Amino acid sequence: MPRHETSRFQLSFGWLRGEDWWGDPVSQNFVLTDMLMHPFVKSMTQTSPPPGVVIGDQFIVPVGAEGDWLGHDNALVMLSENGWIYFMPGRPGVRVRVDSPGMWIWWDGTTWLDEGKDSVDPQPLLGTRYDVTVFVGYEAEAGETVLGFTIPEPMTMPANAVGSVGRSLAAPVGIHRLLLKRNGADIGTVTFIPGSVRAIFDVPADRVFAAGDMLTATLTDEPALGFAVYSATLRLILPTVTP
């Protein structure tokens, strides 16, 4: 029977009873299986094999590969007793742990993505987020604090407040801004602008909150005249718990 290959990793199979295929096909199966079982790569920035590699070391080859890795951009490679082995994932879903920098990456069918940041759906999964909503149904005064929330457990407001949303029933006649503060220190803003009912969030970097910290939202000194009935839902991310 002609040799077949599995659809995902191209492992050889399908020989009839009594056929002797021990040697390259079967041996390659074992080596490839070992390579793809919980892959742990040392780096994904080396364009050619670095000095000091030993058998079993794995790497992700970046674009622009040179030397022994020339022509193997984006491949998962491992040094074996017989030299370098190359695996190019054909379908999305291959997951790899990177030692430096420490992170998980996954293959989306075109490129390797940082599992902690990049996704087809950038919204956090249910159970990993904590939403806090501020609603103002009246014309608040300048300098008024319209949100005061004591953080119950450690969580993070991500840069750019990813996942947060805000809107008003009517667009303001001028710029209306809320200052977000952690324990009294500015961490970002929520801004409503003329001609739009959608809020703009500006959080320059990840802001980590400890249990007991206070998150507040305070109007700037010059709120938009007559502006009322608006809200903002702030999305905070809970730490990942390893089972």
Same domain, 96 and 139: no
Range of the domain at 200: 129-237
Rounded to an integer, what is the distance from CA 80 to the centroid of its chain?
Answer: 31
- Is 60 exceeded by the pLDDT of residue 177? yes
* Of 122-126, 153-157, 237-241, highest mean pLDDT: 153-157
CA distance 185 to 215: 10
Q: Are residues 89 and 173 in the same domain?
A: no
Of 58, 86, 114, the residue that ends a domain is 114
CA gap 106, 163 in Å, rounded: 22
Q: Which of 114, 143, 176 is the last residue of a domain?
A: 114
225 and 179 within one domain = yes
What local confidence, expressed as pLDDT, does residue 243 receive? Answer: 40
The angle formed by the CA atoms of residues 207, 115 and 118, to the nearest 5 degrees, is 75
For residue 123, being part of any structural domain is answered with no
Number of structural domains the chain divides into: 2
Is the domain of 227 the same as that of 180?
yes
Please name the residues in contact with 81: beta carbons below 8 A apart, sequence gap of 6 or more: 55
Token representation of residue 25: 């096909």
If asked whether residues 98 and 135 sit together in one domain, one would say no
Q: Tokens for 191?
A: 């801004």
CATH number at residue 161: 2.60.120.260
Q: Where are the beta strands (DSSP E) in 50-175?
A: 58-60, 76-80, 83-87, 95-98, 103-107, 112-114, 129-136, 145-150, 155-157, 165-168
How distant, in Å, are the alpha carbons of 34, 179, 193 from that of 216? Answer: 52, 8, 21
Q: Report yes or no on 120 lying in a domain.
A: no
Domain co-membership, 78 together with 141: no
pLDDT confidence of residue 38: 82
- Gyration radius (Cα) of the chain, Å: 26
User: Are residues 106 and 181 both part of a single domain?
Assistant: no
- Tell me if the pTM is above 0.75: no
Q: Which of 4-8, 91-95, 115-119, 170-174 has the highest mean pLDDT?
A: 170-174
d(CA 241, CA 243): 6
Examine the fold and report which residue of 79, 114, 149 is the final residue of a domain before the chain moves on.
114
